[in-house]
Structure 1
Amino acid sequence: MNARKLAFEVLRRVEEGGAYASRALDAALSSAGARDPREAGLATELVYGTLRRALALDAALAPHSKRPIAELDAPARIALRLGAFQLLVLGTPAHAAVGETVALAKAVDHGRAAGYVNAVLRALARAPRFPDPPPLATDPAGHVAAAEALPRWIAEEWVAWLGPDEALALARAMNGPAPLCLRAVERDALVDRLRAAGIAAAPAARAPGGVSVTGASVAEIARAAGGLAFQVQDEAAQLVTLLAAGELRGKKARVLDACAAPGGKAFHLAELLAPGSEVVAVELHPRKADALAREAGRRGLPAVRVICADAAKAIPGLEPGSFDAVLVDAPCAGLGTLRRHPELKLRRAPEDLPRMAVLQREIAASVARYARAGAPVTYSVCSLSRAEGPEIVRGLISDGWRRAAPPGGFPADVLTADGDLLTLPSRHGADGFFAARLVR
């Protein structure tokens, strides 16, 4: 299976099967076995590039297609986008981009759509260009959406919240690759070992346990680490944990982590606290809860206790007012992670935001009861919308909560004027997170 065929199959799993691109691609590369790294790199670029630019590719294809691209059968639509990406972004010669893409379509439907794909791509090859976006000054949301292949409703939200220039920079950053960041208790020792193995590694800019790595796979890092423990975790996620409980570092404490799977923040909390502490990790889904408990055991973190329960309701066995800190890492639309999950641009809809906000408010209000008097409750989402961020906090404040100061030494450049955490790939190089630290 060559890179184009592998990418085509992965894109079909994403669109037709609802898979996450990262997992589908990893599985496909693993099952394909040993291959030329250039082929694996091309497959990765084709998958992520096609997803990131899907809406712009559709706009470029539209003048040459008698039917709207969105109304075509999935294999034909995926083939057209894949071919258009090669023509418009990679600069692949037309004979290769068109010929191999048509062959992919023909193999799927025995030629029914192959002729159509061939005609549309050949027409595009004669005039290979994206449509010009409207001017930023007169139609900022339209410009951001068209220039960076973003759904208009997301562009409108970011322009209204952040302003046209920041929205454009953010959308552009979301179309780039996400950096690889690790978290390690023995951060400096890990950096030294990685550098000794020829891996470009450096301490992260803000998180004290963070390590930024360039040009190496996780498998290569694991070999170079030589047994030193580490976890792959974006720096923004590490900062959320530090905002929630940074002042408890080295102290014996009880911390509640709601909606805890896959466990990165719960494990980070356990590493921060003194022996004898407890981190109660609550997860709704039984399979995820089981996996979290197994991973905590594998990592040697006895402080982590997993409870399978609905955090929007009373949690069995927990006493209200018994925790020194509470972290609500709520389910969200994930708009801060589009670099890693570009398929979310194609799956999310405007109505998702108010629907998610209802659940987020329910969970935050429910788990807040478990914080002792004066203990912080930190609300966090890996999404970038006012409905899931500032408006949730505004509602909690109207219910009697107030903002609490961040732990001492917390980096000021990721805090808003209100004192909330807001990380943007365009500013900080990290995933997009919003978090607020509250106290009653």
Structure 2
Amino acid sequence: MSKAKKTVREAALDVLESVEKNQSYSNLLLNHAIEKYGIKGPDTGLLTELTYGTIQRRMTLDFYLAPFINKKIESWVRQLLRLSLYQMIYLDKIPDRAVLFEAVEIGKRRGHKGIASMVNGILRSIQRKGVPSIDTIEDPVERLAIETSHPHWLVKRWTEQFGIEKTREMCETNITAPLQTARVNTLRTSLDELMAALSEEGLSVQKSKIVPNAIVSLKGNLAKTNAFKEGLMTIQDESSMLVGHSLDVQAGFTVLDSCAAPGGKTTHIAELMGGEGKVFALDLHKHKIKLINENASRLGLGNIESKAHDSRTAGELFEPESFDRILVDAPCSGLGVLRRKPDIKYTKSESDLGSLQNIQLQILKAVSPLLKKGGLLVYSTCTVDREENQGTVKEFLKENTNFQPYELNHLPETVQPFTDGHMLQVFPQDFGGDGFFISCFKKDL
């Protein structure tokens, strides 16, 4: 085993420890580890696979490990066992002997010979005896929870809302790696020109089947390309791109994006308006406003104005009826993006969802007077939950009788089968995008 490979596994162990102990975000820690340890080339992919894979399947791995651990072990030792077992079960290209050797070496370096010997014993027992069968779990909800590493409360909730089959499809999709997708900056280039440029840089990309002016990367990291640096595209999920289209904007409009950071949807709206008119972007956090400004600058968009402000008091900044369109991409539980942020499924609780709905309604209530008569208000979330989505919509329409549901006929033809009048709920299994919800309202004249 090369030294670099050792570093990769130890780096993965560091990230896993930090995610669990500090509830830090795995994507941020991963980028930090890549820089800190100077990990390059294929090792970057391996580190990502080891870290995300182990987090994605944590509950399954713990179920498999349980019969072989008969005493209290330190947190990092458990992480090392999870990491090693993940490779043994899910990664065909890495031979077991290499996994065992590496686990023992890490055990010695981070602990002592006794720990190394215990780790070796547990992994060799699993090799001999095999892991326990998930089929022995009788309760179908509990079985699905363990099989796909989703908390029991979430699988139960989804099963009640969407049925067991739809929940199974969603959970199974959530433990697969998503493809990277991007939106073409049509003010600077065309779809075909961007694809040609990326091909020259050695990437393999194809046109999105879902959203116009979007691409899917089959090989290569779009964020590392010259095309990205030059502002020819924005990395964004296809489901998320539908939000910009749902606003049905025109050149010269004045638009409010009330929860805007990091600016993916803000910049999309600005591009859809041909760089004309004005998009006002609000976000609670100053450091996130910086991200919006950096994105706008990279893309060459001069029609965005951003400000750190709580959108629940947006009326302090703007006159009533100032905007043609308003977007409330609300703070939510994020249950639609578990493929990209697998750690959040273990930190969320069912009680979080109720408190989020209150915030969502407060924002909608605060911004609705700022919309012109005849204007459109779009409410969106990156979650899959009836209470946060349809529940919030129902509550808003009940309290705001001067708003009517507005059908999403203006969305691309490809997603029309998923729309339900003025609402769209995308499930991760629908076309491989994030789980997303969009609802559109029109203000009475």
- Listed as ranges, the matches of 1:101-120 within 5 Å are 101-110=103-112, 113-120=115-122
CA offset digits 1:124-168 (Å, max 9, x no partner): 232232532468xx8442332122111111111222222222211
Instruction: Give the deviation of 1:208 after TM superposition.
Output: 1.3
Match of 2:212 among 208, 215, 221: 208
Return 185-194 or 232-241, whichever deviates more. Answer: 185-194
Return 9-18 or 54-63, whichever deviates more. Answer: 9-18
TM-score, normalising length: structure 1: 0.90
Structure-2 residue corresponding to 1:431: 434
**Distance in 2, Cα, partners of 1:165 & 1:197:** 42
Match of 2:238 among 235, 240, 246: 235
Structure-1 residue corresponding to 2:133: 131
Structure-1 residue corresponding to 2:123: 121
Instruction: Give the deviation of 1:61 after TM superposition.
Output: 0.7
**Distance in 1, Cα, partners of 2:49 & 2:397:** 44
Q: In the alignment, is the contact (CA less than 8 A) between 2:275 and 2:302 conserved in 1?
A: no
The answer to whether structure 1 residue 88 and structure 2 residue 72 are counterparts is no
Q: In the alignment, is the contact (CA less than 8 A) between 1:253 and 1:274 conserved in 2?
A: no
Match of 1:405 among 385, 404, 407: 407
Structure-2 residue corresponding to 1:421: 424
Query: Matched residues, percent identical?
Result: 29
The answer to whether structure 1 residue 28 and structure 2 residue 30 are counterparts is no
Structure-1 residue corresponding to 2:76: 75
Instruction: Give the deviation of 1:112 after TM superposition.
Output: 6.9
- Alignment CA distance shift 1:219-1:271 (3 Å): closer
Instruction: Give the deviation of 1:356 after TM superposition.
Output: 1.6
Superposition RMSD in Å? 2.4
- Alignment CA distance shift 1:228-1:125 (3 Å): same
**Distance in 1, Cα, partners of 2:302 & 2:404:** 33
Aligned residue type for 1:7 = A
Q: In the alignment, is the contact (CA less than 8 A) between 1:183 and 1:211 conserved in 2?
A: yes
- Alignment CA distance shift 1:113-1:398 (3 Å): farther
CA offset digits 1:346-373 (Å, max 9, x no partner): 2112222112222122122222221111
Return 80-89 or 320-329, whichever deviates more. Answer: 80-89
- Alignment CA distance shift 1:414-1:14 (3 Å): farther
Structure-1 residue corresponding to 2:101: 99
CA offset digits 1:249-299 (Å, max 9, x no partner): 4x2101110111000100111111145411010000111113322432343
TM-score, normalising length: structure 2: 0.89
- Alignment CA distance shift 1:359-1:375 (3 Å): same
The answer to whether structure 1 residue 39 and structure 2 residue 43 are counterparts is yes
**Distance in 2, Cα, partners of 1:227 & 1:424:** 33
- Alignment CA distance shift 1:414-1:197 (3 Å): farther
Q: In the alignment, is the contact (CA less than 8 A) between 1:194 and 1:200 conserved in 2?
A: yes
Q: In the alignment, is the contact (CA less than 8 A) between 1:321 and 1:371 conserved in 2?
A: yes
- Alignment CA distance shift 1:333-1:107 (3 Å): farther
**Distance in 1, Cα, partners of 2:341 & 2:234:** 19
Match of 2:194 among 161, 166, 190: 190
Q: In the alignment, is the contact (CA less than 8 A) between 2:321 and 2:371 conserved in 1?
A: yes
Instruction: Give the deviation of 1:193 after TM superposition.
Output: 2.5
Structure-2 residue corresponding to 1:4: 9
Aligned residue type for 1:232 = I
Instruction: Give the deviation of 1:53 after TM superposition.
Output: 0.5
Q: In the alignment, is the contact (CA less than 8 A) between 1:309 and 1:316 conserved in 2?
A: no
Instruction: Give the deviation of 1:339 after TM superposition.
Output: 1.0
Q: In the alignment, is the contact (CA less than 8 A) between 1:8 and 1:104 conserved in 2?
A: no
Q: In the alignment, is the contact (CA less than 8 A) between 1:134 and 1:142 conserved in 2?
A: no
CA offset digits 1:18-67 (Å, max 9, x no partner): 332222222222333364x4433322221111011000000111111225
**Distance in 1, Cα, partners of 2:441 & 2:352:** 25
Return 324-333 or 15-24, whichever deviates more. Answer: 15-24
- Alignment CA distance shift 1:134-1:386 (3 Å): farther
Structure-1 residue corresponding to 2:271: 271
Match of 1:50 among 49, 54, 63: 54
- Alignment CA distance shift 1:195-1:414 (3 Å): farther
**Distance in 1, Cα, partners of 2:329 & 2:169:** 26
Indicate the SS of the match to 1:336: coil
The total of aligned residue pairs comes to 430
- Alignment CA distance shift 1:414-1:129 (3 Å): farther
Structure-1 residue corresponding to 2:180: 180
Indicate the SS of the match to 2:217: strand
Q: In the alignment, is the contact (CA less than 8 A) between 1:255 and 1:325 conserved in 2?
A: yes
Indicate the SS of the match to 1:427: helix
CA offset digits 1:71-115 (Å, max 9, x no partner): 754212211211221222225544432332243244334467545
- Alignment CA distance shift 1:133-1:389 (3 Å): farther
CA offset digits 1:220-272 (Å, max 9, x no partner): 5x2367946111011111101111x22x24x2101110111000100111111
**Distance in 1, Cα, partners of 2:35 & 2:154:** 34
- Alignment CA distance shift 1:105-1:377 (3 Å): farther
CA offset digits 1:386-440 (Å, max 9, x no partner): 1211111111121123311225353344633344122222111111101111123
Structure-2 residue corresponding to 1:167: 167
CA offset digits 1:311-348 (Å, max 9, x no partner): 12244321121111111111111111111111112211
**Distance in 2, Cα, partners of 1:153 & 1:308:** 35
Indicate the SS of the match to 1:324: strand
